[in-house]
């Protein structure tokens, strides 16, 4: 047994997040000029430091064995997905895969579920809102991509309910799950926040200088803090733990967690949201290290601002805030759900077989 702790290094990667000005729950890199809002709205309606500590002491002999197991699992995944040269054209990236997407009744989750289905997967969906998740389940059924467990309505934060979903899922798939997407989530605000946000926008578009404080964290109640952590972070843990029971015995699986650029840049007025998303990013990295030996790849997506119902959190300032965000984004617009779904498809498919512990950020160049 050889300990190679001396190989350990500390790698520091710095992403220049500029010096964020604050626009409500939006952290916008420094506004360099006063925004001509009329023009912006007319033209565009639609409008890290991360320290990675490598803290493992490796047993080299055990490592060699596990590496062989991981290579076998990776090539198995790749073979199943790409098939032979003769019928490659007819095969899709997720043919034969079973996937589960949480929070799939709307926005990104719905788009990911449908994208996976079009790529050949059979998909189970969850949402807190029973009607919404039933509708998506029906859409999947129309694509012949639904699973016999039916729509899994309920709260990802409730661990006993989550266990029930996975029992139903296992019964429908013969105990298999290939892909888990921990997507369920929400953003919240309060009336005071929206008023202060409106004042900030007014200041920014007239004087170019913000003097109003959001002061959101001092108003955060125990309940709002705890619920945000419970849904995003505990919900991700609950579903991941149950999914690992199905993935580990088979020696393969993909787990994709929905983080946010807020995890790395911070978003004023959303400390609870950013804490939850930062936790998801760290959870992703730690779990990737833990389960790689079992052939399971764990990655996260950290989207920028994507045009989904979640942005209704801006209230009346949604359009103006979106326009301001667009001006600070290299591609000049907000993202579309299909662009995040494409990232999820990549992380679920054969092309990402050498990705684990990574955070991919479709953000249009808002953060570089």
Ligand X SMILES: NC(=O)c1ccc[n+]([C@@H]2O[C@H](COP(=O)([O-])OP(=O)(O)OC[C@H]3O[C@@H](n4cnc5c(N)ncnc54)[C@H](O)[C@@H]3O)[C@@H](O)[C@H]2O)c1
Angle at CA of residue 183, ends 179 and 188, nearest 5°: 175
Measured from the CB of residue 51, what is the shortest distance to ligand X in angstroms? 23
Question: In the annotation, is 186 catalytic?
Answer: no
Give, as ranges, the residues between 29 and 88 that touch ligand X (CB under 6 A): none
Note whether 310 binds ligand X by CB under 6 A: yes
- Count CB-CB contacts under 10 A for residue 265: 22
DSSP state of 335: B
Measured from the CB of residue 187, what is the shortest distance to ligand X in angstroms? 6
Among residues 106, 108, 39, the alpha carbon closest in space to that of 320 is found at 39
Among residues 290, 304, 258, the alpha carbon closest in space to that of 277 is found at 258
Note whether 309 binds ligand X by CB under 6 A: yes
Q: Tokens in use for 249?
A: 């015995």
- Kindly tell me which residue out of 169, 177, 184, 324 binds ligand X, with binding defined by CB under 6 A: 184
Contact window for ligand X (CB under 6 A) among 18-26, 42-50, 100-108, 316-324: 100-108
Note whether 102 binds ligand X by CB under 6 A: yes
Contact window for ligand X (CB under 6 A) among 3-11, 28-36, 303-311, 320-328: 303-311
Q: Tokens in use for 93?
A: 């990236």
Whichever of 102 and 327 has its CB closer to ligand X, that residue is 102
How many residues of this chain bind ligand X (CB under 6 A)? 30
Whichever of 177 and 281 has its CB closer to ligand X, that residue is 281
Determine whether 354 is exposed, middle or buried from the number of CB atoms within 10 Å of its CB (0-12, 13-18, 19+): exposed
Q: Which positions ≥6 away from 122 have C-beta within 8 Å?
A: 97, 98, 99, 145, 146, 147, 173
Measured from the CB of residue 169, what is the shortest distance to ligand X in angstroms? 15
Contact window for ligand X (CB under 6 A) among 150-158, 188-196, 214-222, 348-356: 150-158
Whichever of 73 and 270 has its CB closer to ligand X, that residue is 270
Note whether 279 binds ligand X by CB under 6 A: no
CA 350 to chain CA centroid, Å, is: 19
Based on DSSP, count helices (H) and strands (E) in the chain, helices before strands: 13, 11
Q: Give the residues lining the site for ligand X (CB under 6 A).
A: 102-103, 105-109, 126-129, 132, 155-157, 183-186, 231, 235, 258, 260, 303, 305-306, 308-311
């Amino acid at each position: 047994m050889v300990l190679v702790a001396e190989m350990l290094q500390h790698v520091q990667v710095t992403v220049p997040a500029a010096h964020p000005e604050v626009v409500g729950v939006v952290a916008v890199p420094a506004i360099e000029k006063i925004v001509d809002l009329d023009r912006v709205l007319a033209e565009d309606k639609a409008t890290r430091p991360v320290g990675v500590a490598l803290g493992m002491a490796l047993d080299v002999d055990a490592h060699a064995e596990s590496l062989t197991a991981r290579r076998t699992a990776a090539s198995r995944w790749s073979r199943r997905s790409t098939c032979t040269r003769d019928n490659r054209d007819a095969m899709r990236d997720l043919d034969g895969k079973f996937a589960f997407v949480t929070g799939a009744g709307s926005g990104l989750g719905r788009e990911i579920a449908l994208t996976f289905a079009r790529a050949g997967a059979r998909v189970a969906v969850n949402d807190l809102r029973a009607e919404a998740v039933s509708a998506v389940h029906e859409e999947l059924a129309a694509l012949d991509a639904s699973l016999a467990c039916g729509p899994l309505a309920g709260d990802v934060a409730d661990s006993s309910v989550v266990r029930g979903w996975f029992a139903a899922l296992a019964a429908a798939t013969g105990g298999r799950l290939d892909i888990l997407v921990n997507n369920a989530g929400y953003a919240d605000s309060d009336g005071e926040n929206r008023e202060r946000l409106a004042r900030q926008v007014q200041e920014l578009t007239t004087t170019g200088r913000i003097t109003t404080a959001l002061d959101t964290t001092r108003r955060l109640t125990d309940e709002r803090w705890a619920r945000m952590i419970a849904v995003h972070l505990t919900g991700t843990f609950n579903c991941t733990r149950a999914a690992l029971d199905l993935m580990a015995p088979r020696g393969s699986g993909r787990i994709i967690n929905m983080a946010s650029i807020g995890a790395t840049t911070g978003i004023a007025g959303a400390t609870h949201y950013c804490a939850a998303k930062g936790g998801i990013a760290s959870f992703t990295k730690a779990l990737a290290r833990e389960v790689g030996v079992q052939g399971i790849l764990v990655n996260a997506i950290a989207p920028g601002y994507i045009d989904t119902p979640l942005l209704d959190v801006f209230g009346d300032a949604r359009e103006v805030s979106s326009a301001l965000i667009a001006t600070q984004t290299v591609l000049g617009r907000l993202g579309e759900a299909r662009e995040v779904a494409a990232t999820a498809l990549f992380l679920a498919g054969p092309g990402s077989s050498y990705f684990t512990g990574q955070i991919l950020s479709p953000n249009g160049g808002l953060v570089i």
